[in-house]
Structure 1
């Protein structure tokens, strides 16, 4: 793939006076990295000028995306909005090939050319507009996870598209953080130190984290497609043995977990754990508005032994996922909020920062279902024809992505060692 950058510019912050926005406990827990995603559109599309103008205008409603990381007068991490080092990087590029030559958007190392570099990126939001020979467009977006979670970024991208098309942006993002108020007195009911954050003074047996690193060349990415018919068959298989129906997320997540465990050929008694993102907006009571912009996600950690997972089938796997996710409810989120009050000035380090780039025997599953990504529209008359990750060197990551079929298909991104991926492909659509 030949990609030629034709221009690069910085959209400055819409805020004229610099102000500091403290990072919340959820921001500090979020991954300290940029997340990259691609959106492909068939021609005709809106012009680059119109898309960039829409971005500039919508940033008035999403000012934290133009911020930069800093520390406030108390030495605590924060976002500085309106500072001279902020803004959004916008790159324009041309691609010598036709878009159709790259469809479907199956993850490829070449796709990293379609968005700005994420390592040591200066700007928290980066955009690259890639014009293909045929007139097709791929918009590569990278955003820093400590500014916003998946739901927030989905809302932003949908709103950006509305702005380009001249459609009123409604609802607008919400920044009110009254839900972050701790209880009086604060009550930390769960072991967040050792689960979300590394204990401040761990005892020898209290926290063990040995990062595992692998050569990126040993890790491959794949995108699997699951039809509504296949998902219905999975659900029928699980629901007939349960009084309560399993969701698509629970069923498909349990299914992928079990199949990956088989492909990895783990020892029978080896433990395997899922790391599953749980959105706190619907968990907290009273609920936080879905329009809240920022981070409000924790993890659930379903776990079992490899043999039990394999022999229990997808029924057992889905049930373990369900129970762990449901246990991460209002009490857990409130306890986490109170943790911020108890350790207000402490230098908390998220446990996942000690993982390395290999999760095996564990698996992380995130869901992009329901984030609105499949309705992103930048105008011009063309169609959204692809949503994809680019290429990950992180073994054990899986993401559920909405397919663009109106029937409810789901695409599943999976990153595994090549040797495990070969076995996984062979069994990825088997109901056994």
Structure 2
């Protein structure tokens, strides 16, 4: 049966109390400028049983009203999310006009069951988001949008898009948990975010950022079709995988990252053909997004709002006669060393700002981005949300 999503209503959720005048101009930081001009997509799924347990009966409208009311309250703390960009993200000096214009909030009904979506094509999940998250911001000024969808079976999906220009994974998880606590009447337990990242890392009006790294294609800056795949590793799968690394005690993230990297290398080599003179597969690196809040000296607050992440990049794995034959234990050492070296290098950024460390970081990021866009080498990017608190989000009808 063809999926059909019917929009029921659309509203603007505004903060319960107006943002004070002295907070209406939110400046982004240097690290925000370096973040990609896309949205972070989140979809939380809840079964009909979850709804019935919370409300005594299935009541989609009651759930939606509770979400809108609590969102209005928590937006008084996270006020940049209900503002608007003052200029397109490809321009310099980006800031948020915290004008309380509000967050678009859409209610919809899906003519399928929740299980059909979870077991069906990944592309259908895009319909559960308020808009496609991977286009550049040029045609959108909202910092955030929400879509609540009801399935035929009574299950519900909460889709949220947050601008990556002002939020990273830590900020996103903190916001969702704050919203959930507020929905349960625990706003007094919410720790307000700290909004002064731009004082720590002042913006520079840089225009290169990562805006030309278009995710709308299958690669960087091309027009190939983007393909989404979901691979599930249960506890037994992960245990078996980690055994393959022998005496190297790989973490779950290291193990899965390395397996995907090795598979990508082998796929690239296989698709290049047997004739070495015609081989087009490139050298490659692995990049991990690192939350730098707890890696800095001194550490930054966990609730610091914005993009407080930087990338680790492994040594370049060159193309030669043996390229693609590396063992997992060889690759995992490269992955771990890249993360450790990056963490050590970033730890002193605050202490060494005066010696040009940030200038070197910006220039290195520019050069790396240029080499990737020009296809000098392949870059496989990874991020892990395991420790960010997404699994703790509970609006009062259980964890998603």
TM-score normalized with structure 2 length: 0.76
Structure 1 residues 309 and 133, CA gap change in structure 2 (3 angstroms): same
Q: Distance in 1 between matches of 2:144 and 2:240?
A: 40
Counterpart mapping for 1:10-21 below 5 A:
10-13=12-15, 14-17=18-21, 19-21=24-26
Q: What residue is the counterpart of 2:397 in the other structure?
A: 380
Secondary structure at the aligned position of 1:282 is classed as: coil
Secondary structure at the aligned position of 2:244 is classed as: helix
Q: Distance in 1 between matches of 2:342 and 2:288?
A: 10
Aligned: 1:261 with 2:280 = no
CA contact (8 A) 2:74 2:187 kept: no
Q: Distance in 2 between matches of 1:254 and 1:144?
A: 29
Unaligned segments of structure 1, at least 5 residues? 184-192, 199-209, 385-432
Deviation at 1:166, TM superposition (A): 2.3
1:364-398, Cα deviation, whole Å (9 max, x unpaired):
111121122222222236x52xxxxxxxxxxxxxx
Aligned: 1:67 with 2:83 = yes
TM-score normalized with structure 1 length: 0.71
Secondary structure at the aligned position of 2:383 is classed as: strand
CA contact (8 A) 2:46 2:155 kept: yes
Deviation at 1:309, TM superposition (A): 6.2
- Name the one with the larger strand percent: 1
CA contact (8 A) 1:54 1:163 kept: yes
Q: What residue is the counterpart of 2:27 in the other structure?
A: 22
Aligned: 1:279 with 2:291 = yes
Q: What is the Cα-based RMSD across aligned positions, in Å?
A: 3.6
Q: Distance in 2 between matches of 1:134 and 1:230?
A: 31
Q: What residue is the counterpart of 1:152 in the other structure?
A: 171
Considering Cα pairs closer than 8 Å and 6+ residues apart, tell me whether 1 or 2 has the greater RCO.
Answer: 1
Aligned: 1:225 with 2:239 = no
Structure 1 residues 22 and 182, CA gap change in structure 2 (3 angstroms): closer
CA contact (8 A) 1:196 1:351 kept: no
Unaligned segments of structure 2, at least 5 residues? 52-61, 212-218, 273-278
CA contact (8 A) 1:8 1:92 kept: yes
Q: What residue is the counterpart of 1:250 in the other structure?
A: 254
Q: Distance in 2 between matches of 1:182 and 1:374?
A: 30
Q: What residue is the counterpart of 1:51 in the other structure?
A: 67
Secondary structure at the aligned position of 1:9 is classed as: strand
Q: What residue is the counterpart of 1:324 in the other structure?
A: 338
Q: What residue is the counterpart of 1:187 in the other structure?
A: none
Q: Distance in 2 between matches of 1:135 and 1:144?
A: 30
Counterpart mapping for 1:75-90 below 5 A:
76-81=93-98, 83=99, 86-90=101-105
Q: What residue is the counterpart of 1:97 in the other structure?
A: 112
Q: What residue is the counterpart of 2:214 in the other structure?
A: none
- Name the one with the larger helix percent: 2
Secondary structure at the aligned position of 2:85 is classed as: strand
Aligned: 1:365 with 2:382 = yes
Q: Distance in 2 between matches of 1:6 and 1:359?
A: 48
CA contact (8 A) 2:282 2:319 kept: yes
CA contact (8 A) 1:277 1:300 kept: yes
CA contact (8 A) 2:371 2:377 kept: no
CA contact (8 A) 1:54 1:164 kept: yes
Secondary structure at the aligned position of 2:153 is classed as: coil
Structure 1 residues 152 and 354, CA gap change in structure 2 (3 angstroms): farther
Q: How many residues align?
A: 348
Counterpart mapping for 1:280-299 below 5 A:
280-299=292-311
